[in-house]
Structures are given as C-alpha cells and as structure tokens.
Amino acid sequence: MPNPKRKHTRSRRDLRRSANSKLEAVNFVECSNCGAARLPHNVCPKCGFYDGKMVTEVKVKKAKTQEEAK
Ligand SMILES: [Zn+2]
C-alpha cells in the first residue's frame, strides 16, 4: 500500500477540509398574512399564522415594571 511520506501540516489539512464548505444564505419567504419575512414551512413569528390559519398566539414581551425589578 502506498503511504504518504510525511504528515501534512494542520494548515494543509484544514485548508483541504474547508475547501468544500461554504456559508449558505437562509431562505426567507413573505408571510401571507402580515407580510413579514419568515422561514418556509414555519409558523410566522410575527402573527402566528400558518397556511392562512391562526396556529399559535404570539407572545408579547412584557416590559419590566419597576416593582418587578425590585
Ligand atoms: Zn405573519
């Protein structure tokens, strides 16, 4: 069996491994109800609609009152 004569450097190894990877842009589609950008096949995070129906209620972030912060 032929064998490599010398060990490749970490740099050379990592360059080879990184050559086949690249960042891919996330795909967004427009929500049919509110028009916000959402991921395909996912419930809209803004209005909670999916396939034209209300699926989940969107939680509204509570603003911390001063009494809660104490
Ligand atoms: Zn929406």
Give the containing element (helix H, strand E) for 49.
strand 49-50
Into how many domains does the chain fold? Answer: 1
Instruction: Assess if residue 46 is contained within a domain.
Output: yes
Q: Residue 50 Cα, ligand 1 centroid: separation in angstroms?
A: 8
Q: Residue 53 Cα, ligand 1 centroid: separation in angstroms?
A: 10
Digit-coded pLDDT (tens) for 5-61: 999 999 999 999 988 888 888 889 998 888 899 999 999 988 888 888 787 777 776
Q: Residue 61 Cα, ligand 1 centroid: separation in angstroms?
A: 17
Q: In which domain, by residue range, is 54 found? A: 26-58
Q: Residue 65 Cα, ligand 1 centroid: separation in angstroms?
A: 29
Instruction: Assess if residue 63 is contained within a domain.
Output: no
DSSP summary character for residue 66: H
Global pTM reads 0.48
Instruction: Assess if residue 4 is contained within a domain.
Output: no
pLDDT given for residue 25 in this prediction? 84
Q: Residue 62 Cα, ligand 1 centroid: separation in angstroms?
A: 20
3-state secondary structure of 17: helix
Instruction: Assess if residue 9 is contained within a domain.
Output: no
pLDDT given for residue 21 in this prediction? 83
Cα–Cα–Cα angle for 11, 12, 18, rounded to 5 degrees: 85
